Amino acid sequence: MPAIVIIGTQWGDEGKGKITDYYAERADFVVRFQGGNNAGHTIKIGEEVYKFHLLPSGVVRADKHVVIGNGLVVDPKVLLKEISELKVRVPESAKLSISDRANVILPYHLILDGLQEQSKGSAKIGTTGRGIGPCYMTKVARTGIRIGEFIDETTFREKLEQILPGIQKSYEALSPDAPKLDIEEIVSEYSAYGSELAQYVTDTSVLLNSALDENKTILFEGAQGTMLDVDFGTYPFVTSSNPLAGSVCIGAGVGPTKIDRVIGVVKAYTTRVGSGPMPTNLTDETGDYIREKGQEFGTTTGRPRNCGWLDLVVVSHSCRLNGITSFAITRLDVLGGLKELKICTGYNHKGTKIEHFPANLNVLSECEPVYDTISAWQEYSEEEWIKLAQKGYEALPEELKSYVNYIEDATNTPAEMLSVGPSRAATVYREIST
Ligand code: IMP
Ligand code: MG
């Protein structure tokens, strides 16, 4: 299976980092294709915990080649910091390539992110403040600077000379006391970053297609999740990229006929960070229990995440949009110990049951989740979960298996992996026929 895509089916933070790392063991390449350092993935290997924002999850493995595709927006300062921290902790890490076509996040994108949020007042998106939206804005407006231009100081300066007056105007439109941009300041700090990054820069579409021709295995690692997609998510409370499987083709330069499988990562419950609706959100003690037990606080911003029941309207929306061939269901351990579990099977909209996620947020706000109730399983310690996982699927609690079967039946999608704890050992893999 040479090209596998891993996608978040909810609002991000489904545990894609751990799942990607598991599949990365058998892959030659791990590739990111959208987003930037708004992402935050956590991987636990033995006692070591790694958190990355920009580098792909396979980067801790020496025999891998990790790629930052053209669809990303890259903050060079953050990337260099991650590279240098990685080199200290894992001297034998993966080979890294960065697309010459990826857009660069510059200091003015970060400032614009803050000014735009401020100007929205209570309607703010609750962005991660990393300049992601403004960088995609300048990309689409054709005033972005790409990595290939950025690493050449002369071109970088020329581009900035063309662009900065327009950026300054947009600053001033948002705030009368907007800071004055200084080209010399930006060039002197950032051209040094460009020189350091130059060694990694290449045409990654050529690299990846040659690898596929040689029958190498490529894992495409999605960031964020389907419900944060700029087209199919809870617009405008979304990120500025497409975290869907189809985005691999655009964001990595690989044709759709090359993709073999799409694995949808489903967290056993739902979480969301930032503003915007989440129909199954719980504001009671069950929500607090899940947040505390699951340590549901943002990897990038530390903000508490909204927590609630699993929403199968959302998961089915993801199955359709991504062409998901199997699931990896994560954080099943967190639900252990609750009295009972609820699963949202549809929304009641003025007396009619809706099964497709509505595009219009006004309609969504009038929807009430419709729940089915099923039994929960008991609580186990991290060590006990590992022991159970090592015995295989059959050894897992009956109620947990019923929960998994419920999800599979409702979505017509098999779950090939179940995760019951942060470590690699707390994972159950099931052979399924695809
Ligand atoms: P932005 O991507 O920083 O523009 O933020 C837009 C929205 O996406 C906000 O609600 C963020 O909280 C959310 N978001 C962005 N990246 C992630 C992520 O990796 N996990 C979860 N939420 C995210
Ligand atoms: Mg995350």
Residue 45 reports pLDDT greater than 90: no
Same domain, 79 and 128: no
Residue 212 reports pLDDT greater than 60: yes
Q: pLDDT confidence of 48, banded at 50, 70, 90? A: confident
Across 388-416, average pLDDT: 98
Cα 259 to middle of ligand 1, angstroms: 26
Same domain, 386 and 240: yes
Q: pLDDT confidence of 106, banded at 50, 70, 90? A: very high
Phi, psi of 282 (to 5 degrees): -115, 125
pLDDT score of 434:
57
Where is the domain boundary, 200, 234, 258?
200
pLDDT score of 298:
87
Whole-number average pLDDT of the chain: 95
Same domain, 218 and 329: yes
375 close to 340: Cβ distance less than 8 angstroms: yes
- Give catalytic status of residue 41 as yes or no: yes
Same domain, 190 and 249: no
pLDDT score of 9:
98
pLDDT score of 1:
56
Same domain, 195 and 217: no
Across 287-307, average pLDDT: 93
Catalytic one among 21, 41, 109, 333?
A: 41
Residue 434, domain member (yes or no): no
Residue 208, domain member (yes or no): yes
The CATH number of the domain holding residue 140 is: 1.10.300.10
pLDDT score of 138:
97
CA atoms within 13 A on the CB side of 384: 8
Atom of ligand 1 nearest to the CA of 132: 4
pLDDT score of 26:
92
- The secondary element (H helix, E strand) that includes residue 241 is none
DSSP state of 59: G
Across 361-374, average pLDDT: 97
Cα 18 to middle of ligand 1, angstroms: 19
Containing domain of residue 419, as a range? 3-92+204-429
The CATH number of the domain holding residue 221 is: 3.90.170.10
* Pocket lining for ligand 1, CB < 6 angstroms: 11-13, 38-40, 125-128, 130, 132-133, 223-224, 228, 237, 239-240, 273-274
Helix (H, G, I), strand (E, B) or coil at 413: coil
Strands (E) located in 127-231: 201-202, 218-221
Per-residue pLDDT reduced to its tens digit, 150-164: 999 999 999 999 999
pLDDT score of 203:
98
Atom of ligand 1 nearest to the CA of 113: 4
Q: Is 119 left (phi over 0), alpha (psi -120 to 50) or beta?
A: alpha
DSSP state of 205: H
Cα 303 to middle of ligand 1, angstroms: 11
Q: pLDDT confidence of 301, banded at 50, 70, 90? A: confident
Asked if the peptide bond before residue 236 counts as cis, ω within 30 degrees of 0, the response is yes
Atom of ligand 1 nearest to the CA of 35: 2
Ligand closest to Cα of 15 equals 2
Same domain, 247 and 149: no
Residue 97, domain member (yes or no): no
Q: pLDDT confidence of 235, banded at 50, 70, 90? A: very high
Q: Whose CA is nearest to atom 20 of ligand 1?
A: 12
What's the structural domain count of the chain?
2
Same domain, 231 and 276: yes
Across 372-393, average pLDDT: 97
Same domain, 156 and 235: no
Cα 40 to middle of ligand 2, angstroms: 4
